Amino acid sequence: MKKLLLYDSAAGTFTRREKNLYFLLLFFFFAMYMPGISWLYNAAMWMIFVYSFFFNMMAEKWAMLRKRKEILFMILFFFLNCAGALLSENVKEGISWVGIRVSLFVFPVALGSIYLKQLVKERALYGLVIATCCAAAFCLIHAMAGAFVQQDASLLYNDNLSGVINLQSIYFAMLINTALLAFAYLQTRQTRLFTTYAWWPVLLLLLPVHFLLASRIAIIILYSMIFVYAMYIIILRKKIAAGLSLVAGLLVIGIVLFSFFPKTLNRFKELGYTRFDYGSTAKESHFNVALTSSQWNGANLRIAVWNCAWTVTKEHLLTGTGLGDKMDVLKKQYAAKGFIFGIQTNRNVHNTYLDVWMSLGLIGLAVFITGFCVLPAIASIRAADWYGMLILTCFLISIFTETYLDRTVGNTILSFFLSFIASYKKPAETVAGY
């Protein structure tokens, strides 16, 4: 608790401004998980934005922004969204989308124009881990109590588990991914914010909750990263015993989790049912019911939506449909193909890249990929920032199956983490040691 509240000796090197910013970041992390107050993290975001203008001088801000090209492209992408909204036939709808995406401007300006020292970065990541562990424990206890009272084990899974903190399972699972990466990173640092024995309580809490959330993409990302790290240890570092132990541990964890929480397996079984009929009005599959080929599920539903979205994209290849018109045009394509279920459930594209291309055209897609993918990756590679690179990889894979830009929370976590990994890099430096 002392480390969290900066009462330890190491925190004595923080300036007053750094302490204030740290506590605002801590407030933001806990606000993300606050039950019953879904707007609180937006309030925290705007507080960080306002305080950022007191953190350093305007001249320094401009210098930071000019050198951090990725931040400039993120801001440019937001303004392209504004233009796409105003040039739409449905301007009102376009403006509502801009409101949802406002964090794409707020966090790049707030965090992209300041520099966070290494100790501030580490303490912020420490706060992220603690906040996520608290949220995971709260969700698990709440779900277990509900499952016991109602005699319904399904309350332990998916959105049932994360609903109490106002988060969809995909977003909570991705936040757990970021927290686990932050924890692993902090364990490699000499500051030792966590003790060596902290591995057990953190992993025994976050891994089961992560698995119960049953987000396929988040699970695939996390365990693929662990497997790739094991191969790195075996092949490049020649630590065969350690690498094989990690692989064995991964297999044991997988077997144990699937044995105790079998309903998550239903989410992966859906991947075997990819055929669909546009005219089908069958119910969507659920992890708590038997899976059949006649149902809509997470796999075939996405394929159907992507086919429709790609048809629309090809018709508006260069300029896009316009931000305000994207759903209107997409629904017309649903109607043309007889995709009744897509219309009834108001399905979005379920792919951020395709959504950007469809609504903002090739120019919008080029700006998005440059600012959110290419330039952040280059900056992280130059800085030997493996934490930043892994965070970036998590999101770049995750947004392939979800339209993050259609949800306030999706925009918030995407813009925050990409802005955060820019904030602790000195623009003048291109070597390790940030």
52 pLDDT higher than 50: yes
Q: How confident is the model over 59-81, as a mean pLDDT?
A: 95
276 pLDDT higher than 90: no
For 369-412, the pLDDT digits (tens) are 999 999 999 999 999 999 999 999 999 999 999 999 999 999 99
d(CA 335, CA 341): 10
Q: What are 284's strand-pairing partners? A: 296
Q: How confident is the model over 43-69, as a mean pLDDT?
A: 94
Specify the pLDDT at position 1. 73
What is the chain's Cα-based Rg? 22
Cβ atoms within 10 Å, residue 39:
11
213 pLDDT higher than 60: yes
Kindly tell me the burial class for residue 307, based on how many C-beta atoms sit within 10 Å of its own C-beta (0-12, 13-18, 19 or more). Answer: middle
Between the CA of residue 41 and those of 60, 131, 227, 246, 327, what are the distances in Å? 27, 13, 34, 37, 27
**Average pLDDT of every residue of the chain:** 90
For 336-382, the pLDDT digits (tens) are 999 999 999 899 999 999 999 999 999 999 999 999 999 999 999 99
For 226-242, the pLDDT digits (tens) are 888 888 888 877 778 87
d(CA 310, CA 131): 39
Banded model confidence at residue 432, pLDDT cuts 50, 70, 90: very low
430 pLDDT higher than 50: no
d(CA 43, CA 62): 25
Are 14 and 121 within 8 A, CB to CB? no
Banded model confidence at residue 176, pLDDT cuts 50, 70, 90: very high
For 102-156, the pLDDT digits (tens) are 999 999 999 999 999 999 999 999 999 999 999 999 999 999 999 999 988 888 8
- In the chain the first and final C-alpha atoms are separated, in Å, by 26
- Who wins on pLDDT, 318 or 266? 318
428 pLDDT higher than 80: no
Instruction: Please give the model's pTM, rounded to 2 decimal places.
Output: 0.92
* Phi/psi at 188 (5° precision): -90, -10
Percentage with pLDDT > 90 across the chain = 68
| HSE-up (13 A, CA, CB side) for residue 160 | 18
